[in-house]
Structures are given as structure tokens and as C-alpha cells.
Amino acid sequence: MISGPVSTHNSSTTSPTNRTDAELIPVRMLNEFTYCPRLGYLEWVQGEWAENIETMEGTFGHRNVDKADRKSILAADKKTDAGSEDDQSEKTIHARSMTLASEQDGILAKLDLLELSGSIATPVDYKRGQVPDLPEGAWEPERVQLCAQGLILQANGYTCTEGVIYYIASKRRVVISFTPELIARTRQLIADFRQTASEGMCPPPLEDSPKCPRCSLVGICLPDETNLLLHQLEIINDTPPTPQLPRKLLPARHNALPLYVQQQGAFVGKSGERLTVKLKGEELASIRLLDVSQVCVYGNVMFSAHAIKELTLRNIPIVHLTYGGWFHSLTTGLSHKNVELRIQQYRTAENAAASLAIARQFIAGKIKNCRTLLRRHLGDREAPVLRHLSEYYKRVHRAESAETLLGLEGMAAKEYFGGFFSLLAGQSEFDVSSRNRRPPRDPVNAVLSFVYSLLTKELTVTLNSVGFDPMLGFFHRPRYGRPSLALDLAEEFRPIIADSVTLTVFNNGEVNGDSFIERAGAVAMTDAGRRSVISAFERRLQTEITHPIFGYKVSYRRILEVQARLLARHLLGELPEYPSFVTR
């Protein structure tokens, strides 16, 4: 069993950035900072939050004390004199879910339970775990959190010399005395937390800590991955270190998946904990909300007000696409509070040199992955196109301007598609020699454009959930209505996801001539054709591969999120460069 304090973070106490000296620190956030300074910073300063089984158990364990009492509680300075007929010194009053603050110490607390006997106050804090076998009776984060509540009560005129931690699993109360040493430690941690927040730099991740696997924010923090990338960039005595590979702390796949609705005139509603899709009163589908990550609708699809409200509250985006598959808008709730990341994103986009450095990584990753796809499918490993792409890869790293980079990317793309379309040469029905779009004039380009739109949609949703502004990129310049950053990040994934899907659906016969419609020289897909391509796209995103840097198996959909978070780590100053994703 892993030893260590139980992290008890609660989403109700997180607040948006940026923090100032005048803001009150929630004592639950102080608990997190004591447990792990990086966790406290991520939750309080950056507004990050994620659920896991332990946080849900904690919420369930607090279900009774989280219900505020309606009774009136007199302030300490308004208590009646001892001996009067209203004296309550012999009567203990219990109050639940009380919020109090101390301006002196700069902290705020929502007390689980407060026991009042006259002017003597005893805070009772509920914890989901069992009583630890420690001389102090509780882990330090829990004792600090309880002591901070005591300081708040003292600042409000109550006498408070001890508190109680109630362990739900053990059903036991542990009394914690507020000694001078504990009070001094608590005030020092308050000062340290405020100083860390004001500096605006996230504390470094813990090194191989047993706390990390139990933390709900491990997929956001990426402790082992960040440490590995930092170690790889260090040179010790001119010899690169050989750090330990990251532990597999991330689930390989997401349990929830997108819901696609193509039927024109369909109606999406909510029934209990399920989404329903109906057409002319007939139910087409019923899906648990827990199993839905996003709702993608094509053309004219209607929603009930209850469905929209529930989806936005659960941070499940509604993705709007035209009937032909053009991604044009997103409906979301206030899903992210990370203003700090967006500020850095805007600053970087204004810096031509910094933007170029990131853009080079995007395009270098794209060219490398293009070469890998062709090398896997071409019979000739000495083909000229492979040699040319290797040369473009080297030249990209030397590009000194955005214009030069754009030119190199265009020339590399022309070389690549010349080789890519040759992989379909055996199918005369779909013979094509060049890339065309807006509108596509052949079935292959129609599928490519559609899958690129799906990939852009997926990355827009991912970037939005991480805290980015998807409209502001570093390679693709801002344009009205264009998710430039999503297009940036899509570059390295076009060959290995979108182009791979295109090869699959044609070579496996998942689409045929009946899957397309030609009108005035433009080619579009039928409903059946789109369903086949969407199915192949989702299979590709669910495919698990061994991560080329971190060494564990993970799905492509999870990799999209990891790359977005690594980009955030770079912009926030933790990583000196963005590591593009390249397959072997």
C-alpha cells in the first residue's frame, strides 16, 4: 500500500487566475499546496480540476455536512453574558457548511462542521480515508488545513485551541491540538503559497513520488513526462543522462466517446442520466451521459434546453458542422478558468521568434511523419521522395522566417502527396494525382478534406479543454472563424491519423463509388459514406501505440491531449521547447 496523505481537493473551491496578495486562500487549496506545491498551484492559480474515484468518494462522504444549516449562529462578540437566562455555555450547537474568513491571515474556509459551546469553537473536518498510524494522529496537510480553520475562528472572536478530524472509513474522531509549532507551520505555508502564486511559475513536478498515482490531476500535471523531457535536455559532463521511463499514470483510452448525429431534423433531448436522439417521435438512440465526450451534429439538428444545460454543466461540448462536414462552431460551458495560459499564448503569438520556434516543431513533426507513412507503404526504401522529405526536414530546422517555413512546408507537401496518391494507383475508380479542395473534385480528396475537418474538430475540443484559445495559432496566422491553433497542432497528426484513415477506407473497400455524389464538378460524400469514414476515424483515434518518448501504450486520442498539455507546459516556461510527436 502506498503511504501518504489523502488528497481531498474539491472543485467548489477553485477560482480563476490571476492571484493577488489581497485574495483569500481557500484552506482546501492550502491542504493541496502542503500535499504537493504543484497541485496547489494548478488548482488555485490555473483553475485546473479533474475527477477520479477518490474525489468522488470524498464528495459522497461530505454529502451530509455539505448541506448548510438554516439555524442562526451569533457572532462571538454578540454572545450573551455568562449566567444570563440565555447562556448557552452548557449547550453545544452544531452548525454545518459555514463559510468564514480571516483577513489577518488571508484565508477562507468552508467548515464541514462547527461545534460551539458558548464562545469555544471546535472545527470538525471530514476525511474519506482511515486514521493513519502516525504519532500526530493525521497527515500534515490535514493538520494544516484544520489549524487554518482554527485561525479563522480565532480571528472571528472565538476561542479555538483544538480541532477534530473525522475519518469516514474508520468512523473515528481524532483530536488535533493547535500547538505553537503547528500554528507557525500553517502561517509559513500560507506565506509560501501566496509567494508561489504571485511569482507566476508553476512549481516543478515531484520526482517519482508515490503521491502522483493517487492524484486526480496526474493527467494534467504530467509529472513523469515533464521530468523526462527536462532530463533529456540536460547535459551532465557532456553525457546525456538516462532517466527512468515514466510510469503509466494515464489511462490508455478515454471511456467517454463522441456521439455523432447526422439525421436532418433529429432532436437531442435528456431523459434522466441519458441523452436521447429522436426523429419524428421515434427514438433512434439512448446513450448514458457518462459515455459521451462530445456531441457532433451535422446540419439541422435540434436540442432541448435541458439537454444543452446538462451538456454545458458537464463540460461536454456540442460540435456544429455543416451537412457537408465543414466544422464551424462549438457550444461549451465555462469549462476552463486558466487565464494564465491564454495570456502566455497571446504573448508568444506576438513574438515572431518564439512563434517561429514552435511552428518549426509542428512542421518538422509533420514532414517526419509523412516520410514514415510513405516508408511503411512504399516497396522502395530508396525512393527519391523519402530522400527529398529528409532534406526538407533538415531545412525546416534552419528556417529563419515564417515565410521560408511556409514555403518549405508547401514544397514538402507536394512531394509527399505525389508519393501518397501512388499508394492508391491500383484502384482506377479513384485514380488521382494531386491534392485539390474547396471543393474537392474527386473521392479521395473529398475524404481527405472530410477527415482533416474531423481532426481539426477533435483538436479544437482538446485545446479548449486544456485552456487554450483555439483561434490563435503560431504557424497558421489568425483569420476570422479559423481555429488556427487547432490547425497548427493538426500538422504533425495529418499523416499518421487523417491520411492513414483515408488509405484504410479505400484499400479495405469501406467506401466505394456509391459513397459519393458528384455535382457540378465537386464531389461530396453520402450519409453512408460519412458514417464509414467517421467509424474508421474513431477506430484510428482509439488505436493504442507505444509512445516514442515515454515508452507506454496509449491511444491516439490520448496523445492529442498529451501534446496539447506539453505545448502548454512550454508556453508557461516549464519546458524549453515543444516536443513534436513523431512515430518511429
Comparison of pLDDT for 274 and 112, the residue scoring more = 274
Of 294, 324, 354, the last residue of a domain is: 324
**Ramachandran angles phi, psi of 204, nearest 5°:** -65, 155
CB 276 within 8 A of CB 299: no
Residues 347, 301 within the same domain: no
Residues 287, 391 within the same domain: no
542: domain CATH number is 1.20.120.920
* pLDDT band at residue 77 under the 50/70/90 scheme: low
Task: Kindly tell me the sign of the dihedral angle through the C-alpha atoms of 69, 74, 80, 82.
Answer: positive
Which residue has cell 444545460? 309
Residue 218 lies in a domain: no
102: domain CATH number is 3.90.320.10
d(CA 295, CA 311): 9
* pLDDT band at residue 472 under the 50/70/90 scheme: very high
Q: What is the pLDDT of residue 233?
A: 65
Q: What is the pLDDT of residue 1?
A: 30
Residue pLDDT, tens place only, 25-73: 999 999 999 999 999 999 888 888 877 666 666 666 655 655 666 556 6
Grid coordinates of 561: 491531449
Residue 314 lies in a domain: yes
Residue pLDDT, tens place only, 162-184: 999 999 888 899 999 999 999 99
* pLDDT above 90 for 456: yes
Q: What is the pLDDT of residue 69?
A: 61
Residue pLDDT, tens place only, 227-240: 998 887 664 445 55
CB 273 within 8 A of CB 290: yes
Residues 300, 405 within the same domain: no
Mean pLDDT of 153-158: 92
Residues 393, 474 within the same domain: yes
Of 324, 354, 383, the last residue of a domain is: 324
CB 42 within 8 A of CB 220: yes
Average pLDDT across the chain, whole number: 85
Q: What is the pLDDT of residue 22?
A: 63
Residues 315, 365 within the same domain: no
pTM of the model: 0.83
Residues 307, 344 within the same domain: no
Residue 4 lies in a domain: no
Of 199, 219, 245, the last residue of a domain is: 199
Residue 217 lies in a domain: no
Grid coordinates of 544: 493504442
* pLDDT above 90 for 5: no
Give 2's DSSP letter.
-
Residue 241 lies in a domain: no
d(CA 410, CA 131): 63
CB 223 within 8 A of CB 206: yes
Grid coordinates of 68: 448548510
Comparison of pLDDT for 575 and 334, the residue scoring more = 575
* pLDDT above 50 for 568: yes
d(CA 298, CA 323): 5
Residue 210 lies in a domain: no
Q: Look at residues 255, 288, 293 and name the one whose alpha carbon lies nearest to residue 457.
A: 293
Residue 520 lies in a domain: yes
CB 69 within 8 A of CB 96: yes
Residue pLDDT, tens place only, 299-351: 999 999 999 999 998 889 999 988 877 888 888 887 666 788 999 999 999 99
Task: Kindly tell me the sign of the dihedral angle through the C-alpha atoms of 399, 403, 404, 408.
Answer: positive
* pLDDT band at residue 419 under the 50/70/90 scheme: confident
* pLDDT band at residue 203 under the 50/70/90 scheme: very high
Residues 34, 169 within the same domain: yes
- Residue 160: burial class (beta carbons within 10 Å; 0-12, 13-18, 19+): buried
d(CA 320, CA 301): 9
Residues 300, 399 within the same domain: no
Helices 556-571 and 443-466, packing angle to 10 deg = 50
Residues 372, 513 within the same domain: yes
Residues 307, 374 within the same domain: no
Residues 171, 23 within the same domain: yes
Write out the residue range of the structural domain in which residue 489 sits: 339-571
CB contact set of 249 (below 8 Å; sequence gap of 6+): 212, 213, 218, 219, 223, 224
Mean pLDDT of 86-113: 78
E strand map for 505-584: 516-519, 522-525, 544-546, 553-555
Grid coordinates of 437: 479542395
302: domain CATH number is 3.100.10.20
Residues 318, 351 within the same domain: no
Instruction: Report how many domains make up the chain.
Output: 3
Grid coordinates of 325: 462536414
Q: Look at residues 295, 308, 301, 312 and name the one whose alpha carbon lies nearest to residue 257.
A: 295
CB contact set of 171 (below 8 Å; sequence gap of 6+): none
Residue 3 lies in a domain: no
